[in-house]
Amino acid sequence: MDFTQKADCKAFQFPAKQGSMLIFHTVDQLSGYLLHLKQQGQTIGFAPTMGALHRGHLSLLKASKKHCDKTVSSIFVNPTQFNNRADFEKYPITIAADISMLELVGCDILFLPSVAAMYPSGTEKRTDYDLGFLETVLEGSSRPGHFQGVCMVMDRLLSIVVPNHLFMGLKDYQQCMVVKRLLELKGWKQVIQFHACPTLREADGLAMSSRNLRLSEEQRKTAPAIYECLQFIKENLQPGTLHSLKQKACQLLEQKGFKIDYVEIADASSLELIQTWNGTQSLTALIAAYLGDIRLIDNMVVTP
Ligand code: AMP
Pocket test for ligand 1, best of 53, 60, 209 (most atoms within 8 A of CB): 60
171 Cβ inside 6 Å of ligand 1 = yes
Q: Is 25 a catalytic residue?
A: no
List the one residue out of 259, 258, 271, 257 whose CA is nearest residue 299: 271
Kindly give the interhelix angle for 146-161 and 173-185, rounded to the nearest 10 degrees.
60
145 torsion bin: left (phi>0), alpha (psi -120 to 50), beta (else)? left
What is the tens place of the pLDDT at every residue in 108-164?
999 999 999 999 999 987 889 999 999 999 999 999 999 999 999 999 999 999 999
Examine the pLDDT at 210 and tell me if it is beyond 80: yes
Distance CA 56, CA 216 (A): 21
Its pTM stands at 0.94
Pairing of strands 240-241, 294-301: unpaired
| pLDDT (0 to 100) of residue 12 | 41
Distance CA 69, CA 65 (A): 7
Contact call for residues 286 and 246 (beta carbons, < 8 A): no
Mean pLDDT to the nearest integer, 61-67: 98
In the sheet that 193-197 helps form, which strands lie side by side, from edge to edge? 17-18, 21-24, 109-111, 70-75, 44-49, 165-169, 193-197
Question: Alpha helices, DSSP H only, in 68-201?
Answer: 85-89, 95-105, 115-118, 139-142, 146-161, 173-185
Helix (H) or strand (E) holding 266: strand 259-267
- Helix H, strand E, coil C: the string for 9-77 is CCCCCCCCEECCEEEECCHHHHHHHHHHHHHCCCCEEEEEECCCCCHHHHHHHHHHHHHCCEEEEEECC
Distance in Å, CA 174 to ligand 1 centroid: 12
**Which ligand 1 atom is at minimum distance from the Cα of 210?**
3
**Percent of the chain whose pLDDT exceeds 90:** 90
Across 125-129, 172-176, 238-242, 299-303, least confident range: 125-129
Distance CA 104, CA 108 (A): 10
Examine the pLDDT at 13 and tell me if it is beyond 50: no
Examine the pLDDT at 10 and tell me if it is beyond 70: no
First-to-final CA distance of the chain: 44
Mean pLDDT to the nearest integer, 172-192: 98
- Altogether, the residues listed in the chain come to a count of 304
Q: For CA atoms 284, 289, 294, 295, give the dihedral sign.
A: positive
Distance in Å, CA 168 to ligand 1 centroid: 7
115 burial class (0-12, 13-18, 19+ CB within 10 angstroms)?
buried
- Tell me the β-bridge partners of 276: 241
Distance in Å, CA 91 to ligand 1 centroid: 14
If you average pLDDT over every residue of the chain, what do you get? 94
Q: Is 222 helix (H, G, I), strand (E, B) or coil?
A: helix
What is the tens place of the pLDDT at every residue in 253-286?
999 999 999 999 999 999 999 999 999 999 999 9
Going by alpha carbons, the residue nearest to atom 10 of ligand 1 is: 168
